[in-house]
Amino acid sequence: MCQFEEENIRENLLNQCYLCAIMNNYEFQDWGLIDYHEAWTKQLTLFDMAVSAKLKSNKVQNTLVFCEHPHVITIGKSGDRSNLLFDAERLREKGVSFYEIDRGGDVTYHGPGQIVGYPIFDLDQFGLGLKQYIHQLEEAIICLLALYGVKGERLDSATGVWLDVGTPLARKICAIGVRSSRYITMHGFALNINTDLSYFSLIHPCGFVDKGVTSLQQELGKVVDMDEVKSQMRDILEKIFMK
């Protein structure tokens, strides 16, 4: 049982006034399959609007975005380019875009069959610091995986959600990389559902050379309904952050 489920058992009643106040400043958007640069531009617009509102002491609109991207590799501001195993020209030949971006974390891959979540949240509204926020994102993924009988775990000193931690079979199923300014967040998580894992061979995912990657499809041995997972993921995130 994930932490969130345990807390629900202990706390049956939510603070309804606080919940309504937050929900009045919350919007969900599904951008579908969208080019990474286009999504990055749209996300920056939402982020800049949120930061501007906060600087003017106005209420910030919290927005949760889901999408998928065509094949793309991104590297964070502190990433090590040696973890990129092919140069940009070779990547283009393989139909893979490449971007250096302003999130935390190292190099990662996005592609079809992967749910990418971009929460543009004002953490002050939720009473969270950045580390707590990332912990809550991880908790949401762990709860989602539990619905499918898959045990997700955290790995010390590394963000994201993993399987079989502490064994030679340790593998990552969800990457997390976040940027924040004035406690407004952007970027977020990438959860492998029906992802073509062969594309991860183009990189050392998140800088790890001794750990693998996996997907929900690989763990279950069957294709998973993306719309169903999106609905479940949205519900879990709203219950964790909007409680």
More confident position, 225 or 2: 225
Give the pLDDT of residue 198.
87
**Distance, CA of 71 to CA of 78 (rounded, Å):** 22
More confident position, 84 or 165: 165
Average pLDDT, stretch 206-225?
A: 84
Q: Which residues are catalytic?
A: 206
Which secondary structure element, helix H or strand E, spans residue 186, and what is its range?
strand 184-192
**Distance, CA of 13 to CA of 83 (rounded, Å):** 47
- Which region among 2-6, 139-143, 146-150, 188-192 has the lowest average model confidence (pLDDT)? 2-6
Give the pLDDT of residue 108.
82
Average pLDDT, stretch 119-136?
A: 95
pTM of the model: 0.85
For helices 226-241 and 3-10, angle between their N-to-C axes, nearest 10 degrees: 50
- Burial (CB < 10 A; 0-12, 13-18, 19+), residue 208, is middle
Average pLDDT, stretch 204-232?
A: 85
CATH superfamily of 3-55+64-76+101-241: Bira Bifunctional Protein; Domain 2 (3.30.930.10)
Average pLDDT taken over every residue of the chain: 85
pLDDT at 14 over 50: no
pLDDT at 12 over 50: no
